[in-house]
Amino acid sequence: MAGPVEVGAFAAGRIAEVVSAKPEAVLGVATGSSPLETYRALAARRDAGLDLTRVSAFALDEYVGIAHDHPESYHAVVHREVVEPLGLDASRVRVPDGLADDLDAACEDYEAQIAAAGGVDLQLLGIGANGHIGFNEPTSSLSSRTRVKTLAPRTREDNARFFDSPDDVPMHCLTQGLGTILDARRALLVAQGASKAAAVAAIVEGPVSSMWPGSVLQLHRHATLVIDEAAASEL
Ligand code: GLP
């Protein structure tokens, strides 16, 4: 029975194919628990000789208002869970700046940086139980770009486990938009566990709808979902 380890191994294989063909590939990286097995499997491939030193990476999102060295800021999470284990060149890794004085300008600048890098070759994604990708919560415009969003109550509850108290979970975030994600040349969504089954069923078998933001991947020309048995249980 396929579980999280198999999901991670398969997804890492897809990423390795992209990087082997293009050593200076631009990857979109996701935080959260979903991609951890993928990063673990990719680190093993790196140990076996896959060169990731020329890869660039753009994170999907960041909380607003928490210090970059706060352990749950996505700056810190990306460094700890992606940059270090994969041996990426930190100078080629970007995370939206949730501490900027002008958040709208920071979002525009992030879009410009992605464009200047030549766009994202492969965007790795998890999915929230409410169907969000990045932090594009239900009702997000299907053509949205990087912008400030308010976190849904469900997402703040889901992420409270990472903070000392539920009240410490930030109210706002910066996130690449659904239109930004659609621009990636490939999209690779990983999901594990029964808590994701309803969201997986909705985005795969339901209509394209801003109420289930992940459903926008139905419009992507090269999207792959890698899911385990439990996440597939409502298909
Ligand atoms: C988080 C992130 C998303 C992630 C999702 C699912 O809040 N912003 O990028 O995909 O929610 O998280 P997890 O993988 O821990 O279930």
Bridge partners (DSSP) of residue 30 are: none
Best residue among 7, 81, 132 to mutate for probing ligand 1, ranked by most atoms within 8 Å of CB: 132
Q: How far is the CA of 96 from the centre of ligand 1 (A)?
A: 16
Question: How far apart, in whole angstroms, are the C-alpha atoms of residue 132 and residue 78?
Answer: 19
- Angstrom CA distances, 171 to 12, 144, 220, stand at 32, 19, 30
For the chain, 235 residues long, give each residue's pLDDT as a single digit of tens: 689 999 999 999 999 999 999 999 999 999 999 999 999 999 999 999 999 999 999 999 999 999 999 999 999 999 999 999 999 999 999 999 999 999 999 999 999 999 999 999 999 999 999 999 999 999 999 999 999 999 999 889 989 999 999 999 999 999 999 999 999 999 999 999 999 999 999 999 999 999 999 999 999 999 999 999 999 999 9
CA angle 133, 73, 47 (to 5 degrees): 80
Ligand 1 near 34 CB (within 6 A): yes
What mean pLDDT value characterizes the chain? 97
Residue 154: per-residue pLDDT: 87
Question: How far apart, in whole angstroms, are the C-alpha atoms of residue 202 and residue 205?
Answer: 6
Q: Which CATH class is domain 4-227?
A: alpha beta
Residue ranges in the chain assigned as alpha helix (H)? 4-21, 36-47, 74-78, 84-86, 103-116, 153-159, 178-183, 197-205
DSSP state string for 114-176:
HHHTT--SEEEE---TTS-BTTB-TT--TT--SEEEEPPHHHHHHHGGGSSSGGGS-SEEEE-
Q: Residue 61's closest CA among 192, 150, 139?
A: 150
Ligand 1 near 195 CB (within 6 A): no
- Angstrom CA distances, 213 to 46, 71, 128, 185, 191, stand at 33, 27, 10, 18, 15
Q: What does pTM read for this prediction?
A: 0.96
Residue 1: per-residue pLDDT: 62
Contact residues for 102 (Cβ-Cβ < 8 A; gap 6+): none
- Angstrom CA distances, 133 to 13, 117, 211, stand at 22, 22, 12
Bridge partners (DSSP) of residue 84 are: none
**Taking the domains of the chain in order of start, what are their residue ranges?**
4-227
* Phi and psi, residue 162, nearest 5°: -90, -10
Ligand 1 near 39 CB (within 6 A): no
Structure tokens at 63: 């909380």
